[in-house]
Amino acid sequence: MYTFLPENVTPVKQKPSKELKPLIGAVLFGILLLISAVVAWCYYSASLRKAEYLKTELLDLRKNGYIIKNQQGKVVFRVAFQSGNLDLESCSKVGGNLTCTRSDKGKLNFFIHTVKPKDTVMCYRVRWEEFVADTVVRQTMFWDEAHWYGGAEMAVQHWPIKLSGYQEPKPFVTSDVYSFRDSFGGIMERYWLSSNAAAIKINDSVPFHLGWDSTEKSLFFEARYNDTSYKPPLGQPPFPELSYRVCVGSDVTSIHKYMVRRYFNKPSKKPSESAFRYPIWSTWALYKTDIDQDKLIIFTENIKKYKFNCSHIEIDDMYSKAYGDFDFDPVKFPNATQMFKKMKEEGFKVTLWMHPFVNYNSLNFGVGIERQLFIKEPTGKLPAMVQWWNGIGAILDFTNPSAREWFQSNLKRLRSKYSISSFKFDAGEISYLPKQFSAFKPLSDPSIFSRRYTEMAIPFFDRAEVRVGYQSQNISCFFRIIDRDSVWGYELGLKSLIPTVLTISMLGYPFILPDIIGGNAYSNGTGGGEVKPDRELYIRWLELSAFMPSMQFSVPPWLYNKEVIEIAQKFSELRESLVAPLLLELAGEVTDTGDPIIRPIWWISPSDETAHKIDSQFLIGDTLMVAPVLEMGKQERDVYLPIGKWRSYKGELFQNTPILLTDYPVDLDEVAYFLWVP
């Protein structure tokens, strides 16, 4: 049966039943939850993507710094940003490049470029560049629990690096640390290496300043142009950049080998064999500036009398009439030509002390002004007068080809006139230049002046000696550590020798002259007003020097007694028979490998934590380990033998290694040394 409704009647809409209302609410709530979940997931996904931007291989970037881990997940390098925090929203990553364009202080150019040059090495190129003139870029690198090596020669030298107190960043430029004890030394590179197999090399373009805080175990790396001798490249604004390369490897030895091969030049040849084999004899400590013809003749006669061999004799300070003259004082050396002829006939080769200064009382001072051969004051109009340890004068501008040619021509004339073999190039540090100066060729990095000075030694490389080194590893001559005082300690004393030689070795300088045996013998350095070093100190010093790449007498053994003469003869002969053949073999390999001749103990045992801290032993190559006595009054010492089989100089065989030999007896006329047994 059907029911029909009239057309003008509208059906009444039924209200949902009470049972349906909760169901509809639940559906609506579910839809809201779903929308919220989708929004949250999108936000979370975006956050994940941003988090990925903050990672690049084993480096984790945060707004206030970054950490680098090794393959085992251990943090081996940690840096904090001090110039501001990165705005991570401005960061992006494409391939191996992570870039950011803003910090909380404004626009910048920051990037980290990741490269993996070999399976065991991961490297990161880091750059922070500001776009505000005369601002500062500063980062803090933490030592953490690692041991660090490298940097620069210092007045107080430790191995590994041990810095005290707090030091605001100061220009990392060459300086004479004998005269300016709180400065960085004359041999330096922007390179540091850690026992955790991390290494850092600061780029050459950085106006680099270095400071530290020993309390928080950190180094401050700073780039700035204001209030400093660094200058921006010609035509470029003074926008500082802090850029460097950090590489992480499997162990400290292998990462150092990689860094040296990648970033350092190598010597192209080796110096004269006789400089490795026989002692050098300097007139300095015995005669100081009072050297003259009669004293030089007596000096050579005594070398023969006491039956010592001689690589060459070094005539030191004040053989000329004035500083800046290139000839002998006719009063002090009335028959110089005949004297040198006789010395040559007797088999003596001679080198002369040289320096970059021309004092105002030298005849060459007027020549230098007329030809504009000197470093000038900032306006570039007048020569910059400088004060050095021997007076006041001008300093030759080795960026000027005319000054270089004039200096070289005078040296060659001396060599020709007197049959001079080579020269000892003293000074050359930036500390003897005004803070603001003008050079023929503008220098963004003032230490390049030191590099230009060392280049003067190239024509005379076989017996040449320089005491500044900056980007100069390819100059194949001996680099001399700064003068030592006649004392036992770590401040320019006997204990500083091994740490200094190891540091310079790690900076890529294999041919090292550890200065004169016994030190300068100044009365204020010996403590007793004597003209010669303490006898025991002198003996221990000469024993150590016999195992160095070069050995130099200045205070002669015959100033003491027969026993000292015999000890000196014994170690000179040991050097000739045992040490020199190994030195010469290693010197020949340096031109290919860049590996140091004098090596730390960890070189052959890079994972040995005990070896990382040893500062009183060293290796010559991989096979000869030397452990000299460096303590006053001692005739024994502790000796650490790393893993391997070792035979002592006494004939003892040690196989259960590593081992610490406590109170190992070493007589006054002995050095403990050990040969590796294959």
Cα 320 from Cα 390, distance rounded (Å) = 13
Asked whether residue 188 falls in the same domain as residue 132, the answer is yes
pLDDT digits (tens, 9 = 90+) for 49-99: 454 458 888 999 999 999 999 999 999 999 999 999 999 999 999 988 999
215 DSSP assignment: T
Cα 77 from Cα 90, distance rounded (Å) = 24
Give SS3 for 53.
helix
Asked whether residue 33 falls in the same domain as residue 123, the answer is no
Q: Distances from the Cα of 288 to the Cαs of 239, 292, 516, in angstroms?
A: 48, 10, 13
Query: What sign for the dihedral angle of Cα 442, 443, 446, 448?
Result: negative
Asked whether residue 40 falls in the same domain as residue 64, the answer is no
Whether residue 47 lies inside any domain: the answer is yes
Compute how many other C-beta atoms are within 10 angstroms of the C-beta atom of residue 244.
Answer: 22
Cα 352 from Cα 348, distance rounded (Å) = 13
Residue ending a domain, choose from 242, 263, 284: 263
Provide the number of structural domains found in the chain.
Answer: 2
Task: Find where tokens 């990553």 sit.
Answer: 93
Residue ending a domain, choose from 222, 247, 263: 263
Compute how many other C-beta atoms are within 10 angstroms of the C-beta atom of residue 101.
Answer: 15
Q: Which whole number is the average pLDDT over 498-503? A: 98
Give SS3 for 84.
coil
* Among the listed residues 643, 644, 639, the one whose alpha carbon sits nearest the alpha carbon of residue 666: 639
pLDDT digits (tens, 9 = 90+) for 425-463: 999 999 999 999 999 999 999 999 999 999 999 999 999
pLDDT digits (tens, 9 = 90+) for 187-219: 999 999 999 999 999 999 999 999 999 999 999
pLDDT digits (tens, 9 = 90+) for 220-266: 999 999 999 999 998 899 999 999 999 999 999 999 999 999 999 99
**pLDDT score, position 48:** 38
Compute how many other C-beta atoms are within 10 angstroms of the C-beta atom of residue 364.
Answer: 21
Whether residue 524 lies inside any domain: the answer is no
* Containing structural domain, residue 219: 57-263
- Above 80 in pLDDT, residue 6? no
Asked whether residue 94 falls in the same domain as residue 132, the answer is yes
Cα 152 from Cα 469, distance rounded (Å) = 10
Asked whether residue 89 falls in the same domain as residue 146, the answer is yes
Residue ending a domain, choose from 221, 240, 263: 263
- Above 60 in pLDDT, residue 288? yes
For the entire predicted model, the pTM comes to: 0.92
531 pLDDT tier (thresholds 50, 70, 90): confident
> Strands, E, within 462-529: which ranges?
465-466, 478-480, 512-513
* Among the listed residues 427, 674, 620, 431, the one whose alpha carbon sits nearest the alpha carbon of residue 512: 620
Compute how many other C-beta atoms are within 10 angstroms of the C-beta atom of residue 51.
Answer: 11
CATH of residue 135: 2.60.40
- Above 70 in pLDDT, residue 1? no
Asked whether residue 29 falls in the same domain as residue 72, the answer is no
Asked whether residue 34 falls in the same domain as residue 126, the answer is no
* H helical segments located in 195-316: 252-263, 273-277, 284-287, 293-305
Asked whether residue 66 falls in the same domain as residue 81, the answer is yes
Pairing state of beta strands 280-282 and 552-553? parallel
What values do phi and psi take at 397, rounded to 5? -95, 100
Asked whether residue 220 falls in the same domain as residue 141, the answer is yes
**pLDDT score, position 30:** 62
Asked whether residue 47 falls in the same domain as residue 61, the answer is no
Asked whether residue 120 falls in the same domain as residue 35, the answer is no
Whether residue 668 lies inside any domain: the answer is no
483 DSSP assignment: P
Whether residue 584 lies inside any domain: the answer is no
Whether residue 638 lies inside any domain: the answer is no
Asked whether residue 103 falls in the same domain as residue 201, the answer is yes
